Amino acid sequence: MIKIYSMDTCPDCVYVKEQIKNDDRYEIIDIGQHVRKLKEFLRLRDTSPVFDEAKKNGAAGIPCFVLEDGTVTLVPEDAGLQSRPIEDGAVCSLDGSGC
């Protein structure tokens, strides 16, 4: 099963969530639902080099995909999904811009 760390307030996450409705190959972990889930995501984010570029750019790093083999990626296509088409500069950053 592929784990997807996400939040309902993230447009990219909502786009991914729409693609996996009724698909039991994926598990959504809403990091805004409980602090325990947020801590789980932050542990991953703080220790995986996959997030280095996202952190450098002030991005939260969601949606985040943990594949069945343990590989961590921020690329929906790596998890068999499509990225949300976005306009230039329309990316959610930690400061709330681009959302």
Burial of 85 (C-beta count, 10 Å sphere; 0-12/13-18/19+): exposed
79 touches 27 (CB < 8 A): no
84 touches 91 (CB < 8 A): no
CB atoms within 10 A of CB 41: 21
Per-residue confidence (pLDDT) for residue 66, from 0 to 100: 98
CB atoms within 10 A of CB 10: 20
User: If pLDDT is split at 50, 70 and 90, which confidence band does 87 have?
Assistant: low
Q: Is the pLDDT of residue 35 over 60?
A: yes
The 10s digit of each residue's pLDDT in 45-83 is: 999 999 999 999 999 999 999 999 999 999 999 999 999
Query: pTM to 2 decimals?
Result: 0.84
Domains and CATH numbers, the chain: 2-79 (3.40.30)
